[in-house]
Amino acid sequence: MINILDFGTSKICGISVVQDENESKILGFSSIVTSGLKNGSIINMNETSRAVSLVLKDLENQSCGKIKNIYASFSGEQISSVNSLGQSEILDKEVSYRDMEKALRMSIAMDVPEDKRLLNVIPSHYIIDGQSGILDPRGMSGVKLEVRSHLIYCPKNSISNISKSIFDASRLRVKKFFFNQLGTQRSVLSKEQLDSGVCLIDIGAGTTDLTICKSGSMVFSKVFPYAGDYITEALAMSLKISSSQAEEIKKKYGSATAFEVEEENIKISGVQDLEEIIVSRRTVAEIIENALSKILRSCMNCIDENGFKNNINAGIQITGGTANLQNIDKLGSSLSQTKFSIGMPCQNLPANSEKIINPQYSSLIGMAKFCHEEEGKEFTFSQSKGIIARVLEWIRSEL
């Protein structure tokens, strides 16, 4: 049984999945909103541990089994990434595993800030004497071998705090940590989209994750420190209501485009015994559209500034809880002037997933598939090894 905890920006979700020869099956699912998290970071250890404990107990009750292992996935505004190029001489005229190992070591051998740690390494493709796009170079002739990799970093304290919250709740140690967008792309994007080039935007509560995939691999990632909560606070400030009221109105009456909304009045209870507020639904939509447009424009600017505008032939997929906003695809199409659609978790679905097929659970559903793939490679991994050794072993098992 594979057990995954996904630490979002405002909630902790968990899933237990079992795999047989033919398919995977969800045995348990749980989601707990917690005040212990903010923008993907733990700000209250006791509250976070309490939420973890509730999720794990819920999973054990549903699966009728004892949880013995945990994978953890997360994001956060402190996540950073860089693309790297490593190279090596092809010693015996034909590429061997040793040549690939040396090239990969060179791609990872970068100075890492003291407060950061290398979280995940994603090899993209190999290059032999200038010929790029090679996925398996073994046995090919040449003089120089290069490998392009996407390196994802996180703060050291993120790993430490998540580990402590889980250990305090369960006395279990985390098997592995992953950037949760590795799961999101598994559940949302098709092979055709991954190969042709696609941008995936995951707008959660506190952060917006932007990733770009090309030729089947993640080649760019960035996390923005504003998302659904930014929209909620814009409503609360403009209408002078509480954040909880604003969140309720956003979900119940919200629209990403004002021109699609009729002039319908909404009654809102006053804060602290103040008089009832009456506001038009179109006014609410205008506030939402303005705040959401700022988020999406930041994403569009990022795509353009990093040279990917003409490399996303499959367009843009938007997922995460904010993707449930009415007409968000229409606003996205208008701002991006490209194919823009809602990314539902519909790829690699395990059985019993019907109740959680929702953009807000895209990363969790996808991590079930991703972690199963990792389980299949487990015999090649030594958890005492560093990330470099583990990636090299992963490549050895893949080839």
Chain segment 39-95, per-residue pLDDT in tens: 788 999 999 999 999 999 999 999 998 999 999 999 988 899 999 999 999 988 899
- pLDDT band for 396, please (50, 70, 90 cuts): low
**With pLDDT > 90 as the criterion, what percentage of the chain qualifies?**
70
Residue 388 has a pLDDT of: 54
Strands 198-203 and 316-319: parallel
Residue 38 has pLDDT above 90, yes or no: no
Positions of CATH 3.30.1490.110 in the chain: 80-155
Can you tell me which residue has the tokens 């092979």? Answer: 191
Tokens of 226: 């504003």
Mean pLDDT of the chain: 89
Residue 224 has a pLDDT of: 95
Identify whether the C-beta of residue 166 lies closer than 8 Å to the C-beta of residue 189.
no
Please tell me the pTM assigned to this model: 0.89
Identify whether the C-beta of residue 146 lies closer than 8 Å to the C-beta of residue 155.
no
Positions of CATH 3.90.640.10 in the chain: 241-291
- Rounded to 5°, the CA angle 383-16-324 comes to 110
**With pLDDT > 70 as the criterion, what percentage of the chain qualifies?**
93
- pLDDT band for 387, please (50, 70, 90 cuts): low
Chain segment 151-202, per-residue pLDDT in tens: 999 999 999 999 999 999 999 999 999 999 999 999 999 999 999 999 999 9
- What is the longest distance spanned by two Cα atoms in the chain? 82
Residue 362 has pLDDT above 90, yes or no: yes
- pLDDT band for 272, please (50, 70, 90 cuts): low
CATH topology of domain 241-291: Actin; Chain A, domain 4 (3.90.640)
Residue 42 has a pLDDT of: 93
3-state SS, one letter per residue, for the chain:
CEEEEEECCCEEEEEEEEECCCCEEEEEEEEEECCCEECCEECCHHHHHHHHHHHHHHHHHHHCCCCCCEEEEECCCCCEEEEEEEEEECCCCECCHHHHHHHHHHHHCCCCCCCEEEEEEEEEEEEECCEEEECCCCCCECCEEEEEEEEEEEEHHHHHHHHHHHHHHHCCCEEEEEECHHHHHHHHCCHHHHHHCEEEEEECCCCEEEEEEECCEEEEEEEECCCHHHHHHHHHHHHCCCHHHHHHHHHHHCECCCCCCCCCEEEECCHHHCCCEEEEHHHHHHHHHHHHHHHHHHHHHHHHHCCCCCCCCCCEEEECHHHHCECHHHHHHHHHCCCEEECCCCCCCCECCHHHCCHHHHHHHHHHHHHHHHHHCHHHCCCCCCHHHHHHHHHHHHC
Residue 37 has pLDDT above 70, yes or no: yes
Residue 21 has a pLDDT of: 72
Other Cβ atoms less than 10 A from the Cβ of 78: the count is 18
Residue 380 has a pLDDT of: 32
Higher pLDDT: 301 or 135? It is 301
Residue 323 has pLDDT above 70, yes or no: yes
The total number of residues written for the chain in this structure: 399
The average pLDDT across 293-316 equals 96
Residue 73 has a pLDDT of: 96
> Using CA atoms, how far apart are residues 312 and 322, in angstroms rounded to an integer?
22
- Rounded to 5°, the CA angle 48-35-286 comes to 140
**Residues pairing with 268 in the sheet:** 277
Chain segment 94-118, per-residue pLDDT in tens: 998 889 888 888 888 877 778 889 9
CATH of 80-155, one of 3.40.50.2300, 3.30.1490.110, 3.40.50.1580, 3.10.310.30: 3.30.1490.110
Tokens of 105: 């070591």
Q: What are phi and psi of 69, to 5 degrees?
A: -145, 150
